[in-house]
Amino acid sequence: MDTTLTERYVTAATRHLAPKVREESRTDLEQSIAEAIASRVSMGEEPAAAERATLIDLGDPAVLAAGYSHQPLHLIGPPYYLTWWRLLRKLLAIVPICAAGGVALGQTLDGADIGEILSASITVGLSLIVHLCFWVTLVFFIIERSGVEIDAGWDPDELPVPGADSAKSELIATLVFLGLAAGAVLWDRFGGSMRVDGETMPILNTALWPWLLVLIGLHAVFAVVLQRRGRWDAGLAVANTVLAVVFVSLILNLLVRGALVSPEFLDSGVFEAETLRILGILLGFGVVALWGWSILDGWLKRRRDAR
């Protein structure tokens, strides 16, 4: 025997409910549908059209069933969403990059070629992204469905103070750091940083110190301009990126050519060739990580200040 649309709808909306509430919900729903159809028919609609229109207005029966059983139709609800998103965003910003960098460093130390290094690093990074998204979401899904309360909380004392003069403090700290770096370069060039057999010798190639001082000076000028403007704009973000790329390119080029360290230091035999190779790789990765973060931080601050 053919069933009506109403019967099919009511069955779909109540078939997964617990037996103790199914019959009551079925009766209430049938009555509600009948009253809505009768109202439409009284206004001149055909019974079949009135029935169809009423069911369309009620919407998907699965949504109605979720309402009856008080089951959420979202993966992560409003009480947990911000906590989930903040945690996931922080993990995605740190863990895959660190893991991929660690794999790349290990592959480089093992003497792998560039193809193997990129393949292994990308594979690990993408795998971690997938796992982080899945497992963090699963944990919050279980927490929400189990009814556990999470009080993420926040401390009003952490709110930023409008007009706080932090720019000058950052400028002073930056200039002090750059001054120490310039002093170290000059000390290495004219005083020698390494003492071997009673003689002092420079570690860095003596032909590099003017260029290093120029780069340090440019960074100091950039810090002063940033403090005077009081905010990051596109021009400053681009300038910061250019300075970082120039510095990284210089260091990596010198490392690859073996021209970063002075010949006197290399001939001294303080470190074996393999040790120097490992130290050079570690230095290269450290420089890329440090200035890569500087570039990213600059553009993030530019987007923040643009708001």
Per-residue pLDDT tens for 106-157?
A: 777 777 787 888 888 888 888 889 988 998 888 888 887 776 666 555 556 5
Instruction: Tell me if residue 261 falls in helix, strand or coil.
Output: strand
The pLDDT value given to residue 154: 56
169 or 38: whose pLDDT is higher?
38
The pTM of the full predicted model, rounded to 2 decimals, is: 0.55
Asked if pLDDT for residue 1 goes beyond 60, the answer is no
Q: Domain check: are 195 and 129 in the same one? A: no
290 or 195: whose pLDDT is higher?
290
Q: Domain check: are 52 and 104 in the same one? A: no
CA 211, CA 202: separation in Å to the nearest integer?
16
The owner of tokens 């007009």 is 163
Q: Flag whether 156 is in a domain.
A: no
Structure tokens at 118: 């990129």
Asked if pLDDT for residue 163 goes beyond 50, the answer is no
Q: Is 177 exposed, middle or buried (0-12, 13-18, 19+ CB in 10 A)?
A: middle
pLDDT band for position 6 (cuts 50, 70, 90): confident
The pLDDT value given to residue 149: 64
pLDDT band for position 69 (cuts 50, 70, 90): low
Q: Flag whether 191 is in a domain.
A: yes
The pLDDT value given to residue 153: 56
The pLDDT value given to residue 32: 85
User: What is the identity of the amino acid at 56?
Assistant: I
**Domain termination site, one of 69, 90, 125:** 69
Asked if pLDDT for residue 212 goes beyond 50, the answer is yes
**Domain termination site, one of 150, 179, 196:** 150
The owner of tokens 């890329």 is 288
Structure tokens at 235: 């021009």
The pLDDT value given to residue 270: 65
User: What is the identity of the amino acid at 76?
Assistant: I
Q: Domain check: are 82 and 56 in the same one? A: no
The owner of tokens 């009673």 is 198
Asked if pLDDT for residue 219 goes beyond 80, the answer is yes
Q: Domain check: are 210 and 285 in the same one? A: yes
Asked if pLDDT for residue 3 goes beyond 80, the answer is no
Instruction: Tell me if residue 260 falls in helix, strand or coil.
Output: coil
The pLDDT value given to residue 164: 46
What's the domain count of the chain?
3
**Domain termination site, one of 124, 150, 176:** 150
**Whole-number Cα distances in Å, 42 to 51, 53, 185, 235:** 13, 14, 93, 69
The owner of tokens 């390119």 is 249
pLDDT band for position 232 (cuts 50, 70, 90): confident
CA 70, CA 64: separation in Å to the nearest integer?
10
Q: List, in sequence order, the alpha helices (H) in the chain.
A: 5-14, 19-42, 47-58, 61-69, 78-109, 114-146, 166-190, 209-229, 234-257, 263-268, 273-306
Q: Which domain holds residue 56?
A: 5-69
